Amino acid sequence: MVREWRRAPLPPGPRGLPFVGNVRDWPEIGDQPKVFAEWAKKYGPVVHVCVMGQPFVLLNTWTAAHDLMTRRSENYSDRHCNTLIHDDKLSGYGGWHLPMMPYGAKWRVFRKHFHSLFRIQEVEPMRPAILDLSSEFLHHLRNTPNDFRQLIRSYTAKSISKFVFSHDQPLNTEDPYLTLNDELMAEFNGYFFGNVFLVDVFPFLKHIPASWPGAGFKRFAIQHKKKVQDLIDGLHNRLQLAIANGTAEPCMVTRSMEKAAQATGVVSAAEEQLIKCNAMLSYAAGTDTSASVLANFFLCMSMYPEVQKKAQEEVDRVTGGTRLPDFEDREALTYISAVLLESIRWHAPGPVSIPHKSVKEDIYMGYRIPAGSVILGNVAEITHSTDFYENPSEYQPARFLDANWQIIPELEVPIQDAFGFGRRVCPGRHLALESMWILMARIIATHNIGKELDANGKEIEPVIKFTGGVTTHPEPYGCHITARGKIQVD
Ligand code: HEM
């Protein structure tokens, strides 16, 4: 047996240089899905590369991703620890940030708490509030249509801050914590994921004094960590103030605190820390991702008027064109559900998801997967695979529907990969899907979305480009949005 493992070759991949391996082949984060797919064409669905001694295994098909990260999830649910991101002396994410946390006992505690807040049974009772929020969105969209990107961002943030922190910020006003959250996300995507750091290769460098030349990474990380703490404390303190003033409604944080106090009458410091961190994290993890899908939706509605028309016809048929669609209409509005799926598929917010890591050595398809390999599921490639989808770069929601206008389950399955894999799958997906679906249905019912117009009223062709990073978005574009139908939104 041991001999067989020793004999098994590594998965194929581009040949690296001595010592540094594939450092020169490793693509920038924005190019990764494309380059990984090119490698897959050459080497097969499972590709191995090694960068400075760190093995990476790239999974480019649905089958390979699920064979490992779902079926063998006990071995493939860890996270890679980057010293700069994880170490408590630097950015300190490893100790509290669920998506970055190594797999183990602490992760289980944080995950269980997070899951208990956002499972489907908790999300369904939020529907009346989600409906109110979507109506507020329509009201502002009608009055300030050019601010649609800003409104999307506020909508996704408020769908968290309202339920988690009982914070009711009007959608057209600026929440300073959302601004801070955006700044931190930009630093995370741009600085930590946009650069390679020596300290990640030589962790002892974390000990050099921050004031030394060459220690810019340390100064940056320490400042970043402080801002993260400001956000965690700021959101929590704002809620405590609202509770003290009697203006706070019951919300996820208050319910968590009550539950934690049930046994002993007090909330321990560790429990309070867990609740504060998970609450802030829901804000950080849930805002940017859903905003990315909604930005795809507006862009594609403007580029594919025939899709928009079909969606409008479906909504009008079901509502008679005299009322806003509701969650009860969901079964009848299958084309709208297909629009949501296609808005995720067309450009998934996390094209290579969040990397997993293997714990023990394993054998797959006759290849040896070394212990400690970083495992990347190429979500962009899976959701654009011609095994599932014809003309995958086209935005065609009808691809998800059968002859009876019902969603085809086998085509829906790969879209779930946009929410990750196995034990690490996104615990916020139910809230995200509910809040995005109803907003899309209601926008389609009440507005026409066209391409941006120039001063002469001529359509401007949008340039389709996406930002790089763990979560990507369409780069800025405009739309010409006008009211439609008889439904009052004000
Ligand atoms: C369209 C919306 C969203 C997308 C596409 C998305 C996608 C993802 C992905 C790809 C992962 C990584 C899974 C893996 O490692 O295999 C993830 C993890 C996570 N997401 Fe989401 N997400 C969305 C919305 C949300 C929302 C609304 C919340 C919070 C309410 C949330 C909270 C989390 C958390 C806490 C994790 C870490 C789970 C863990 O590591 O155990 N996400 N998400």
pLDDT digits (tens, 9 = 90+) for 335-347: 999 999 999 999 9
Q: Are residues 44 and 193 in the same domain?
A: no
Question: With 90 as the cut, is the pLDDT of residue 356 above it?
Answer: yes
> pLDDT band at residue 486, thresholds of 50, 70 and 90?
confident
Residue 215 pLDDT:
94
Query: What is the average pLDDT value for the chain, to the nearest integer?
Result: 95
**What average pLDDT does range 197-220 have in this prediction?**
93
Note whether residue 44 is domain-resident. yes
Asked whether residue 485 carries a pLDDT value surpassing 90, the answer given is no
Q: Is residue 219 in some structural domain?
A: yes
In a domain, 488, yes or no: no
- Percent of the chain residues past pLDDT 90, beyond the cut: 91
Encode pLDDT of 93-127 as tens digits.
Answer: 999 999 999 999 999 999 999 999 999 999 999 99
The band of 415, judged by pLDDT with boundaries at 50, 70 and 90, is very high
The residue behind tokens 């590709």 is 47
In a domain, 196, yes or no: yes
Task: State whether 360 and 328 are in the same domain.
Answer: no
Nearest residue to 346 (alpha-carbon basis) of 386, 304, 397:
397
pLDDT digits (tens, 9 = 90+) for 167-184: 999 999 999 999 999 999
How many independent structural domains does the chain possess?
2
Q: What mean pLDDT comes out for the span 356-377?
A: 97
Q: How far is the CA of 350 from the centre of ligand 1 (A)?
A: 9
Are 116 and 59 part of one and the same domain?
no
Residue 468 and residue 30 in contact, taking contact as beta carbons nearer than 8 Å? yes
- The string over 82-104, giving b where at least 16 C-beta atoms fall within 10 Å of a residue's C-beta and e elsewhere, is bbbbbbeebbbbbebbbbbbbbe
Both 356 and 336 in a single domain? no
pLDDT tops 80 at residue 54? yes
Shared domain check, 338 and 258: yes
Please tell me the distance from the alpha carbon of residue 343 to that of residue 348, in angstroms, as a whole number.
8
What pLDDT is stored for residue 149 in this prediction? 97
Q: Which pLDDT value is given to residue 487?
A: 87
Model confidence at 195: pLDDT above 80: no
Q: Express each pLDDT in 286-336 by its tens digit.
A: 999 999 999 999 999 999 999 999 999 999 999 999 999 999 999 999 999
Q: For residue 490, tell me if it sits in a domain.
A: no
Residue nearest to atom 13 of ligand 1 (CA): 420
Distances (CA, A) of 191 to 91, 202, 221: 12, 18, 10
Same domain membership, residue 408 and residue 466: yes
CA-to-CA distance for 450 and 459, rounded, in angstroms?
8
Q: Is the CB of 285 under 6 A from ligand 1?
A: yes
Is the distance from the beta carbon of residue 377 to the nearest atom of ligand 1 less than 6 Å? no
Nearest one of 62, 130, 74, 152 to 388, comparing CA atoms: 62
Lowest mean pLDDT among 138-147, 270-279, 463-472: 463-472
Select from 383, 419, 435 the residue to mutate for testing ligand 1; criterion: most ligand atoms less than 8 Å from CB.
Answer: 419
18 and 64 part of one domain: yes
Tell me whether residue 277 is annotated as binding.
no
Q: Which domain holds residue 69?
A: 1-94+349-382
Per-residue confidence (pLDDT) for residue 490, from 0 to 100 = 73
181 in Cβ contact with 231 (< 8 Å): yes
Q: Are β-strands 54-59 and 374-377 bridged in parallel, bridged antiparallel, or unpaired?
A: parallel
Together in a domain, 70 and 166 = no
235 and 142 both lie in a single domain: yes
Question: Is the per-residue pLDDT at 4 higher than 60?
Answer: no
Task: Based on the fold, state whether residues 8 and 124 are members of the same structural domain.
Answer: no
Task: Give the CATH number for residue 241.
Answer: 1.10.630.10
Nearest CA to ligand 1 atom 16: 420
Q: Is residue 456 part of a domain?
A: yes
Q: Are residues 356 and 343 in the same domain?
A: no
Looking at residue 3, its pLDDT comes to 55
Give a yes or no: residue 436 inside a domain. Answer: yes
- pLDDT score, position 5: 57
> Is the same domain home to 337 and 394?
yes
Query: Is the CB of residue 164 less than 8 Å from the CB of residue 252?
Result: yes
Residue 2 confidence (pLDDT): 54
Which among 336, 362, 382 is the end of a domain?
A: 382
